[in-house]
Amino acid sequence: MAIVGGVAARRCIVYPWITVKWLLIILSVMTLAAGARADVTGADAVAHDIEWQIKNLGADSTVLHDLAMQRLARYGMTAANALVRALTTAPAAALPHVRDLLTRLPLGSADDPPEVAKTLQNYNQLQASSRQEVGYRLTALPIEKSAPALLRLIAYEPQETVAWQLAVRMRPWVSKCRATILAAHLPPRPATLRLLAWAQPDRAIEHMERAWTMARERQKAGADADAAALLNLITTELTTLYRVQKRFDAIETCWRQVADETKDPNAALSLMALLIERNQPERVETEWKRCADWLAGDSRALYLLARAAAARHDERLEKDFIATARSLSPHDPEQHLFVGTYLMQRRWLDLAAGEFQRVLEMVGADERDRAFEITARLRLADIHSHRRQPDKEAEQLDTALHLYKLFEERSGGGGVIADQINNLKCRLLLLNANRFGKTGNFAAQEKALRETLKLTPNHPDAVIALVELLRKRGTTREAAELVRTSSEFYRARIAEQPDDSEGYNNLAWLLANTDTSLEEARKLSQKSLEIQPNTAAYLDTLAEIHLRLGKSAQAVEFQKQAIELEPESLDLVERLKKFEAAAAKAKP
C-alpha cells in the first residue's frame, strides 16, 4: 500500500497540473466556440473582443488562431479600424493574418453609384499594382461620386505602400473633398495621416510626425519587406515640411535616425546631401565612414564625396572621386541611368550629364538598351534646356522622337507611347518657333505655334508667344480670345482639382505674360506655392509677376530663392539679370 500510495501520491502531484492546464485550454476553446455562435453585445465588449482576437492571431495554438480568424471575419467592417491599427501594433507573426482579414473586407457600399461599384468589382482579388490602378480609375470619375469609395480603399488597403500611392493620387482633390475626409474619421495609418496633413495644413507637421513614428515602429518590428521604402517616403515628406520652416537640425535628426535604423543607402545619402547643402563638407566624409558598410560600392556616395571635396577646394580629390564613381558598373547602362537621374534631381547637372553620356556609349541594338537610350537623351535634353542650349536640346529630342516612332511601329502603338511622341513634337515645335522668332521669320513662327496648339491646346508658352505675335501684328481681337479661352481652360481645371499646383502656376504664368489681371496672377502664383512650396519654377513665376507689377526688388528676391533651389539653371540666372537691371533702373 505504501508503494501504491507512493505512486498515487506522485500522480496526485502531476495529475492536477495536467488537469488545470488542459482545463484552461478547453475553457478558452469553449468560450471562443460559443462566441463564434453568439454575438458579443455592447460596443465596449465588442471592441475588447476584437482586440483579444487580434492578439490571438499570433498565438502558437492553431486552435486559438483559427478561432480568432473566424471570429474577426464574422465581425467584418466592425473590426476594420482595429485591423488597420494592428498593421502597426501587431507582432510580426500576426501581421500576414491581419492583412488577410483586411483583404476579405467588403469595401463596396450600397450607396456607391453604379460606375463606382463596377470599378470596385473584385478589388480584393487583385494584385497590389492592379489595386493601385483601381484607385486611378476612380479618380477619373467625378470626384463627388468616387471620393467615399477612394477613402475606403486608402483606409483599409492591406498594403501600406499601395494605400500611400492611392492617397497621393487623391492629392489634387483634397481641398474639394476636405469636409468628406474630415467627416470620415479615417483610422490612423501613414496614408490617411498624409491626407489629413493636406486637408489641415495648420496641423500638417503634427500628422506627418505621427505617420513617421508609425512607420518607424513597423520598420523596427521587421515584419514588412517594404517598410524601409515607406519610411523613406514619409521622411521625405516630413523633412519637406521642416524645410519650409528652416528646421534643418530636425531634418538632419530624421535622416540620421532612419539611416541608423534601416541601413538604407538612400537615407544615408539624403543626410550627406543635407550636410553639403548646409555648407558642412567636412562632415560628409565622417558620415560616409560611419555608413560605409551599406554605402560601399554606391557611386552616388562617391559623387557626394566629390561635391564635398569641391566645397573644400580640393580639386585633385574631387577628380579622383568622380573618376572612381564613373568606373563602377562599367557595362551596366541601367545603373548609370539611375545614378544620373539621382544627380539630376540634386541639380548637379554637369555630373548628371556625364552619367547619361556613359549610357549612350554603352547601349547597343537590344530593345531594352534602346529604352535606356531614350531616357538618357530626354534627360540630356532637359539639361541642355537648363543651360539654354536650344540646338543641342533639339538634337537630343529629335533622336528620342525617332526612337519612339520605331517603338510605336514594332509594338503597334499605345497610349503612353503616343503621348510621349506628342510631347516631344510639341517641345521641338516650340524650339523651332523660338528660333524663327529670333531670326525674324514670323510666318514660320506662327505656323509652328499653331501646330503646337493643335497637338496640345492651351499650352501656356505657345499661347503666350502666339498672343505676343498677334498683338504685334495688330490682330488684338484674336489675341484676346486666345487669352480668354486658355484662361477659362485653366480656371475649369483648378475648379475641378483645387490642389493642382501646376494648374495654378500655368494660369498665373499665362496671365502675367499676357499682362492680364496681374493681381489675380499674383494670388494664383502664391496659391501654387502654398500647395507645393520650394518649387523653383513657381518662384520664377512669382518673380515675373512682381516685375510686371513694378516691384522689381521683390522680383529679385523671389528669383534668388528659385536659384537657391536650382543653382545650375542658366535660364533662372539669366532671368535674374533682367530683374536686377529693372531694380537698378527703378532706384532713384
- Give residue-wise pLDDT tens across range 294-308: 888 899 999 999 999
- Segment of 30-34, 40-44, 122-126, 176-180 carrying the highest mean pLDDT: 176-180
Mean pLDDT to the nearest integer, 310-328? 92
Report pLDDT digits (tens) over 411-455. Answer: 766 667 888 899 999 999 999 999 999 999 999 999 999 999 999
Residue 388 lies in a domain: no
* 333 pLDDT higher than 60: yes
- Predicted local distance difference test score (pLDDT) of residue 62: 86
Least confident of 103-112, 216-225, 238-247, 351-360: 216-225
Look at the chain and count its residues: 588
Amino acid 5: pLDDT: 41
Grid cell in block for residue 133: 490602378
DSSP string, 191-255: HHHHHHHHH-GGGHHHHHHHHHHHHHHHHHHT--TTHHHHHHHHHHHHHHHHHHTT-HHHHHHHH
Residue 47 lies in a domain: yes
User: Of 31-45, 170-184, 336-350, 380-394, which range is least confident?
Assistant: 31-45
Mean pLDDT of 213-231: 84
**Whole domain around residue 67: which residue ranges?**
2-103
In eight-state DSSP terms, residue 457 is T
At residue 268, the pLDDT reads 94
Range name among 126-140, 174-188, 306-320, 545-559 with the lowest pLDDT average: 126-140
Of all residues in the chain, the percent with pLDDT exceeding 90 is 62
* Structural contact between residues 271 and 259, judged by C-beta atoms closer than 8 angstroms: yes
User: Which among 580, 573, 577 has a CA at the least distance from the CA of 552?
Assistant: 580
Centre a 10 Å sphere on the Cβ of residue 375 and count the other Cβ atoms it contains.
Answer: 18
| pLDDT at 212 (0 to 100) | 96
Torsion of CA 236, 237, 238, 240, to 10 degrees: 80
Tell me whether residue 111 is in a domain.
no
CB-based contacts of 524, cutoff 8 Å, min separation 6? 504, 505, 507, 508, 511
Question: Nearest 5°: phi and psi at 458?
Answer: 70, 15
- All residues at 6 or more sequence positions from 555 whose CB lies less than 8 Å from its CB, including other chains: 543, 544, 546, 547, 579, 582, 583
Q: Is residue 508 part of a domain?
A: no
Is the CB of residue 228 less than 8 Å from the CB of residue 102?
A: no
pLDDT at 12 over 80: no
The phi, psi pair for 297, rounded to 5°, reads 80, 5
Q: What is the pLDDT of residue 512?
A: 96
Is the full-model pTM beyond 0.75?
A: yes
Mean per-residue pLDDT of the chain = 88
Distance CA 229, CA 241 (A): 19
41 pLDDT band, cuts 50/70/90, is low
51 and 72 Cβ atoms separated by less than 8 Å = no
The greatest distance separating any two alpha carbons of the chain, rounded to the nearest whole angstrom, comes to 127
The pLDDT value recorded for residue 14 is 40
Classify residue 57: in a domain, yes or no: yes
pLDDT of residue 413: 61
Domains of the chain: total: 1
- pLDDT value at residue 365: 67
Give a yes or no: residue 361 inside a domain. Answer: no
More confident of the two residues 519 and 225: 519
- The pLDDT of residue 412 is 67
223 lies in a domain? no
- Cα distance between residue 358 and residue 366, in whole Å: 16
For the residues 272-285, what does the mean pLDDT come to? 92
In a domain, 42, yes or no: yes
**Cβ contact 521:545 at 8 Å:** yes
pLDDT of residue 218: 85
Q: Which residues contact 44 (CB under 8 A, 6 or more apart)?
A: none
Which cell goes with 258? Answer: 532612419
Model confidence band, residue 223 (pLDDT cutoffs 50, 70, 90):
low
pLDDT band of residue 526 (cuts 50, 70, 90) is: very high
